[in-house]
Chains A and B, each alone.
Chain A
Amino acid sequence: MLSYILSRLVALALSLVVASLVIFVMIELVPGDPASFMLGLNAAPDTVAALRAELGLGGSPVERYLRWVGGMLQGDFGTSYTYRAPVAELVTARLAVSLPLALMALLLSTLIAIPVGLYAASRRGRPGDWSVMGLTQLGIAIPNFWFAMILVVIFAINLRWFSAGGFPGWDQGIWPSLKALTLPAVALALPQASILARVMRSAVLEVLGQDYIRTARAKGLSRRRTLTDHALRNALIPVLTIIGLQFSFLIAGAIIIENVFFLPGLGRLVFQGITQRDLIVVESVVMLLVFAVILVNFLVDIAYGLADPRLRRRS
């Protein structure tokens, strides 16, 4: 197990190095001088020079890359020139919105998907199964930002149960904040739940074909007990993997959904960075997002290795 973890750690480190190189090279590709790009065409020369100094644009690309990566390793993600604040501070503040949103969506989709998938599998080939499969097919096809807009029309504009957007801040109390995140989380969870329910269904069907299920039934265990005690547990392993892999889609989805609801999360930060040409913010936040995805995949790999010894030997 130790050598398995070590090999995954090496892969993790390598991925991070290559990812940082890709992002760095992309930003280096910005035509012309980044400082004048960020300030626009009409900036005064001394403003550009000041920003150049502030951004640490001196030195060779290799030096700049090492400085950027070295800074990030010490928690220094550079300074945003539009916010006049360290990017690390901005990110921490935005994470307080994005992370709970992602977790709520994840929790919601899992809570919906597992029972629904189990139900469909237990009704295989019958109307209950068909309707679940049809509904999940529909759920996958619905763009989450469109669903978000429809939710706003129904629950915010017509019923007035929720606000149409914005975020009060956690210091205003937990309930108002959770309430502000509810509609976005539901919108984000719908396609995830649809995909997960389908994975859950096929995982359960796969398990139900195994010999030990027949054994359990033969020794007199009821259908229901077999499903909950044996099929559910064994089917959860592939489902957990998919949940991990869905994380990257969740991040991408959250970036768009935050824009629908005007939530001050990481996604809004990136978009403001782009529209205000704040390359430092874009560069560092994109790196953080990629880091989060790589890290989650690493943890899933480890968890999978723990659950399935065959995988350990293969690598």
Chain B
Amino acid sequence: MTARLPLTLVVGLALTAVFVAAALLSLVWTPHAVESLNIAARLQPASAEHLLGTDHFGRDMLSMLMVGARTSIAVAIVAVGIGMALGVPLGLLAAANHGGVIDDLVMRGNDLVFAFPALVIAILITAVFGPSAFNAILAIGIFNTPVFARVTRGGALAVWTQEFILAARVSGKGVVRISLEHILPNIASLLIVQGTIQFSLGILAEAGLSYVGLGAQPPLPSWGRMLADSQTMISFAPHLAVLPGLAIIATVLGLNLTGDGLRDHLDPRLRRRR
């Protein structure tokens, strides 16, 4: 049993690492420049020159995928950052004020944001401010906020009942200090696991938004955009659609496996129950 658990984590981390490494590498080096169009070399199959072939503008697919990884990962990370920066303080506040007005307000607000599907928020934002990667980040970030608020509140409520919190209160520490010094470190693992899951959801959301043209705008390569561009050529150049799809699947799968593996690893009670 214990031998199987790290496997999820190892596979997940390995998959994630490949794409993070590809994204980082693309900052300094790609096999070919993605800005250079070479119509003469368009829609080529895989070769030694272009390991994964070329797209309809003759751009190297491998290079496009590497830069696309950068876009996806950047959007998802910033969106998770926004969600955490807003959601975690709200959740801590709600837990500290358990049963009070603030708690009620935060939870009602949460329900409300949950009622807006992320894509609908994105649609509203883009309808008003125009489509861009930045607005996609904003929309996904807003959607992440209630998730983190809820997880933080749930975790914090459990910690608040512990005896060492009582000791901290008796020693005269205020609510804010207790939240930051005692609650937050104790729910960190919970937040990391949720962060991983939101990260993967963010990648899927970014792909979806860019696919319908509400996310990253050309010439910025993004997996979602590559899929949208490939749609009209799918009957004679299926590799244009298959490759970005596989990249999305592998990254999301890697992150989800990492999240699950971490959760099982960090919470021994879950390990035994399964």
Contact = CB atoms under 8 A, between A and B. Distances in A.
B212 A256 contact: yes
Contact of A19 (B116, B208, B234): B116
A142 interface: yes
A150 B127 contact: no
Contacts of A271: 212
A22 B124 CA distance: 10
A149 B227 contact: yes
A19 B125 CA distance: 14
Contacts of B114: 248, 297
A30 B123 contact: no
Contacts, number: 121
Contact of A149 (B116, B119, B241, B257): B241
Interface in B62-121: 108, 111-112, 114-120
A279 interface: yes
B227 A146 contact: yes
B108 to A, nearest CB: 7
Contact of B208 (A256, A289, A297): A256
Contact of A252 (B112, B120, B241, B253): B120
Interface in B223-267: 227, 230-231, 234-235, 238, 241-242, 244-245, 248-250, 252-253, 256-257, 260
**Interface size bracket, A side:** 35 or more
B234 A141 contact: no
Given A141-B200, A149-B241, A248 B115 contact: yes
A137 B117 contact: no
Contacts of A274: 123, 126-127, 214
B199 interface: no
A297 B115 contact: yes
B207 interface: yes
B148 interface: no
A256 B211 contact: yes
A138 B249 contact: yes
Given A141-B200, A150-B241, A259 B112 contact: no
Given A26-B125, A252-B208, A256-B211, 13 more contacts: A18-B112, A23-B124, A26-B128, A138-B249, A142-B249, A153-B241, A157-B235, A249-B117, A255-B123, A260-B231, A279-B127, A294-B115, A297-B115
8 contacts: A26-B128, A137-B260, A143-B248, A145-B211, A150-B245, A259-B212, A290-B116, A290-B120
Interface of B: 108, 111-112, 114-120, 123-128, 200, 204, 207-208, 211-212, 214, 227, 230-231, 234-235, 238, 241-242, 244-245, 248-250, 252-253, 256-257, 260, 274
